[in-house]
Amino acid sequence: MGDIFDRGNQPDKIIDRLMHYHSVDIQWGNHDILWIGAASGSELCLLNLLRICARYNNLAVVEDAYGINLRHLATFAQEHYDDNPGFRPKLLEGDAFKFQGDQLQLTQIHQALAIMQFKLEKQVIDRQPDFAMENRLLLDKIDYQKQTITIEGHTYPLINSCFGTVDAQKPYELLAEEKEIIRELVYSFRHSYRLRQHLDFIVRNGSMYLRYNGNLLVHGCVPVDKNGKFVTFHHKGHNYQGISLLNFFDSLIRQAYLNEASQDDQDLLWYLWQGPISPLFGKQAMTTFERYFIADKTTHQEIRTPYFELRKDYDFVCRLLQSFGLNPETGHVINGHTPVKRGHSGIMAQGKMLVIDGGYSKAYQKTTGRGGYTLLSNSYGLVLVSHHPFTSRKDAIQNDHDIISTTRVVNHETTRKLVADTDIGQQLQQKVDLLRSLLN
């Protein structure tokens, strides 16, 4: 259900395993799009994914797994940035620093990537007025002498400031060395053989959504307003909503990755990461800047789109299934994207909506209280399995924690399903009918 790449380490090993499965499909997640975007030439996707890797002490996947040299970036960061508590990497229990350097070096790299990202966002937002994301441009709202920032009429003191490479008169202008670093990194991402192998697999076996055995599988959401009406995305004189919006982005991703991506395509890939009408994001805005530099937590809030409240409503989910050409009486919507928090259930709308992000990554397990979900489908119905977090080999051997799972039946078929009732069964029946007609 997407986000193979995210905060967890060694996504390359996960993809290696998936590549040997006999049957796989992937619904792309917003974090997967960052890697697809970076390999397609998007500078902003690249900076975002590297910043997240630095934040979660996971740059080893870039250097060791995919052979991408970060030395120029590290040297630049060391020259221009100092220690900064707001940018120290998050180290999970039992982890050690994996990057070729210490905590200070990761902290410096983290700052360098964040500032380059904030500078570069203006170029895309200026190029793409349809994105309506001008409220994300904040470097020109700073009083660099007073170290304050004014947002929507409110002035806040800045914390964790690291604006030494920002010209107060031209805050969005990249330094010559920053431009060179970005250019080198984009080239490296586009020409990493192993990364290209993995992304080829993800794109070839992936989609924005999947209709399978009467169910709708989608990573994030289908953008709607508070009344459940599809929200329209306007771009270059065209309007997209509902299934046409997801089809548009599905086609875009394949075109951008498999061909020489245009500037417009690259911008749209970044929009999928954090755009207000992105089916993979599902929030009004991403408050990365505020979380780094403003102490007032009211500015940190990322308001979800109405879909995430409406998906609890049985009638809304039935209408959603119907809009995708599925039977609302027998179908389900299956979501990933949002980890189900401790004490909450991922089974919603009388069992019609299933959210199966259980937080496999260790970074999420304090929030979820579990080590992931698996949704099973068989002739008897749907079963949701919740897994105990894996802690250590010793704990697993002594306490059997690696095999503790809790099973919950989502729905039970009164009549067992046959192969003929599945999508594959219908394809087989078509072949049988064709063979019979040829025989006749």
Banded pLDDT at 7 (limits 50, 70, 90): confident
More confident residue, 96 or 325: 325
Please name the amino acid found at residue 209.
Y
More confident residue, 98 or 399: 399
Indicate yes or no: pTM above 0.85. yes
Banded pLDDT at 155 (limits 50, 70, 90): very high
Task: Tell me the average pLDDT of the chain.
Answer: 93
Whole-angstrom distance, CA of residue 427 vs CA of residue 435 = 13
Closest CA to 417 of 216, 213, 212: 213
Whole-angstrom distance, CA of residue 152 vs CA of residue 296 = 14
Per-residue pLDDT, 92: 60
190 pLDDT above the threshold of 60: yes
According to the 3-state scheme, what is the secondary structure of the chain? Answer: CCCCCCCCCCHHHHHHHHCCCCCCCEECCHHHHHHHHHHCCCHHHHHHHHHHHHHCCCCHHHHHHCCCCCHHHHHHHHHHCCCCHHHCCCCCCCCCCCCCCCHHHHHHHHHHHHHHHHHHHHHHHHHCHHHCCHHHCCHHHEECCCCEEEECCEEEEECCCCCCCCECCECCCCCHHHHHHHHHHHHHHHCCHHHHHHHHHHHHCEECEEEECCEEEECCCCCECCCCCECCEEECCEEECCHHHHHHHHHHHHHHHHCCCCHHHHHHHHHHHHCCCCCCCCECCCCHHHHHHECCHHHCCCCECCHHHHCCCHHHHHHHHHHCCCCCCCCCEEECCCCCCCCCCCEEHHHCEEECCCCCCHHHHHHHCCCCEEEEEECCEEEEEEECCCCCHHHHHHHCHHHCEEEEEEEECCCCCCHHHCHHHHHHHHHHHHHHHHHC
Per-residue pLDDT, 389: 81
Given the structure tokens 């920053």, which residue do they identify? 178
Dihedral, CA atoms, 387, 388, 391, 393, nearest 10 degrees? -80
Which tokens belong to 285?
């805005």
Per-residue pLDDT, 93: 56
Each residue's pLDDT tens digit, 290-349 = 999 999 999 999 999 999 999 999 999 999 999 999 999 999 999 999 989 888 889 999
100 pLDDT above the threshold of 50: no
Given the structure tokens 């937590």, which residue do they identify? 297
Residue % of the chain over a pLDDT of 90 = 81
Beta-bridge mates of residue 383: 376, 409
Count other C-beta atoms under 10 Å from residue 426's C-beta.
12
Each residue's pLDDT tens digit, 227-256 = 999 999 999 999 999 999 999 999 999 999
Residues 67, 259, 275, 279, CA torsion sign: negative
148 pLDDT above the threshold of 80: yes
Per-residue pLDDT, 316: 98
Each residue's pLDDT tens digit, 351-367 = 999 999 988 888 888 88
Average pLDDT over residues 77-93: 89
96 pLDDT above the threshold of 90: no
Per-residue pLDDT, 403: 67
96 Cβ neighbours under 8 A, 6+ residues apart: none
Per-residue pLDDT, 370: 87
Banded pLDDT at 95 (limits 50, 70, 90): low
Each residue's pLDDT tens digit, 376-405 = 998 998 999 988 887 778 888 888 766 678
Picking from 55-64, 172-181, 324-333, 400-409, which range would have the lowest pLDDT averaged per residue? 400-409
253 Cβ neighbours under 8 A, 6+ residues apart: 28, 33, 36, 203, 206, 208, 269, 272
